[in-house]
Amino acid sequence: MNPSATSVPDLGAIFEPVREALGRVEQEFARHLESKVDLIPQMGRYIQMSGGKRVRPAVLLLSARMCGYTGDRDVLNAAVVEFIHTATLVHDDIIDEAETRRGRLAAHSRWGNDVTVLLGDYLYIRSMAMALTQDSLEVVRLLCEVTLRMIEGELYQLTKMGDGAITEDEHLEIIRRKTAYLFSGCAEIGGVLGNCTPAQRVALREYGFNLGIAFQIVDDVLDYTSDEAVLGKPIGGDLREGKVTLPVILLQQRTGPDVADLIQRVVTERQVTPEAWQTIKGLLATHGAVDAAYERAVTFAHSARTHLLDAFPSSVERDGLAALADYVLQRDR
C-alpha cells in the first residue's frame, strides 16, 4: 500500500472533541515559559510556532475524555507532555546537527548549541515542576518513566549512529524508547485521570505504544518518499546523520554485500551524493523495501485500533483516536 494512495484524514475533525482543550494547552505551554530571563520565552515561542500538530497532547485529552474525565488536569498533563516532547526535539536537533525543523531554522542553528542545550534542560525540569503541582503521584511516575526511556533511546541510538549493519530489532528498540513510550504514556495517563478499568488501562497503553511505532516507521518512510518542501527538512537526512532506518534495513535484508558496502560508506562519510541518492532510491523501489516498511506501519496501526475498539464502547473520542491511526498512516509530513 502506498502512503499517498488515499486522502489524509482531517486532523481538525479528529481533534474536534478536544479543540477547546487543545487551545488551553497552548495557553498553558506559553504561560509556563514565562521567565525573568527574556531569552527563555523568546526561544520557547519560536519553537512553539514551528507548527507541530500536537498529536501527543491530543491523544492524552481524547483518552481522558473517553474515560469520563471532566476536570482540568488533562490540560495540565497535556502541556507537560508537550514540554517533554519539545525538550527532546531541541536536544535531538543538536545531536543530529539538523539545520532545520519543520521548514525553519532549528533553535540551535539560530541561538547556538550552548544556549539551546540549556533550554532543553529548562523544558525538562519545567515539565516535572508542572507535573508535581497535581495530587496524582501515579501520573508523575508515568511521566518520569517515559522521559527516562526517551533519553535511554537517544543514548542507544547514538551507539548505533554510523552502523550500516543495524538490525531490525535494534532499530525497533530505538523507536520504542524514543517515540512509542511517550505515545503510550499519553494514552495511559488519560485512562488514569478518567478512572478506567485495569483492562482498559492496558488497552490504552497498547494503543498508544503501537500508534507510536507506526508513527515513527511512517516518518522513516517519508524520508525516502516525501517532497522536501512538504516534509520541512532535507530529504535523505537520516542517512546524512548516520542513521539507518527501516526501509534501508529491509533493503539490505533483500540484497547482497555491494549494497551493504554502499550504505556503510554513506553513513560513515555522512554524505549522500546525488548519484548515491538515486542509486539507493532505485534499489529501494526495485526491491520493494519502502512498501515493506510501510506495511510494518500498517500492522502496528491496525493493532492500535484493535486494542482500542475491543476495550471501549463507541464514542466521538474513541472514534477520533481510531481515526488517528488512519491519519498516521496517510500523513505526508
Residue 182 located in a structural domain: yes
DSSP secondary structure string for all residues of 244-300: --HHHHHHHHHS-HHHHHHHHHHHHHT---HHHHHHHHHHHHHTTHHHHHHHHHHHH
DSSP state letter for 16: G
Residue type, 280: I
Residue 87 located in a structural domain: yes
Residue 1 located in a structural domain: no
Helix axes 113-131, 137-160, angle to 10 degrees: 150
Residue 81 located in a structural domain: yes
Domain that holds residue 57: 11-330
Residue 2 located in a structural domain: no
- From the CB of residue 127, how many other CB atoms can be counted at a distance below 10 Å? 24
Question: pTM for the whole thing?
Answer: 0.92
DSSP secondary structure string for all residues of 79-98: HHHHHHHHHHHHHHHHHHT-
Residue 207 located in a structural domain: yes
Residue 312 located in a structural domain: yes
Our CA dihedral for 304, 310, 313, 318, rounded to 10 degrees, sits at 0
* Number of domains comprising the chain: 1
- Name the grid cell of 314: 463507541
Handedness of CA 292, 151, 177, 26 (dihedral sign): negative
Q: Is the pLDDT of residue 1 over 50?
A: no
- Name the grid cell of 131: 507535573
- Name the grid cell of 44: 520557547
pLDDT tens string 169-187: 999 999 999 999 999 999 9
pLDDT interval class at 112 (50, 70, 90): confident
pLDDT tens string 185-244: 999 999 999 989 999 999 999 999 999 999 999 999 999 987 665 555 566 788 988 999
Angle at 29 between CA 24 and CA 34, to 5 degrees: 125
Give me the CATH number covering residue 158.
Answer: 1.10.600.10
Residue 93 located in a structural domain: yes
